[in-house]
Structure 1
Amino acid sequence: MKKAIKILVTYVILLLTSFTIYAQTDYWTGAWNTKFGKVTIRKNGDKYSGFFPKGQLTQIRVQDGALIGYYSRMVAKYDKSSLGKKGTFKFILSNDKAKFDGYHKSETDARWRSENWNGEKIWGTVMPVIVSNNLLTAVKPTWTGTWETDTFGRLKVWDTGTKYKNSKNAIRIEGRFFIKGGGDFIDIFDVEGYSSTSKPKVFKGSFNHNGRYGYFELKFGSPTDNDFKGYLNYNKSLPSVKPVRHEKRVYVKGKRTSSAKPNMNTY
Structure 2
Amino acid sequence: MLSKTSTLLSDALPRWAVVAQQLAADIAEGRLKVGETLPSELELCRTFNVSRGPVRQALRRLRDLGLVSGSKGRGTEVISDRPRSEYEMVLRSTADVMGYAERTELSFHGQDRVKLEDGLAEEFGADAGVEFIRLRGVRRAASARGEALACSSIYVPLLFATVLQRPELGQVPIYRLIDQELGVRLDEIRQHVTAVTVSDEDAALLGVPPRSPGLRIVRLFLGAEGQLLEATVNIHPAERFRYSIRLVAMEQGDAAPGSRAAG
TM class by shorter chain equals under 0.3
**Comparing both structures, which one devotes a greater share of its residues to helix?**
2
| TM-score, length-scaled by structure 2 | 0.22
| TM-score, length-scaled by structure 1 | 0.21
**Comparing both structures, which one devotes a greater share of its residues to strand?**
1
Q: Say which one has the larger Rg.
A: 1
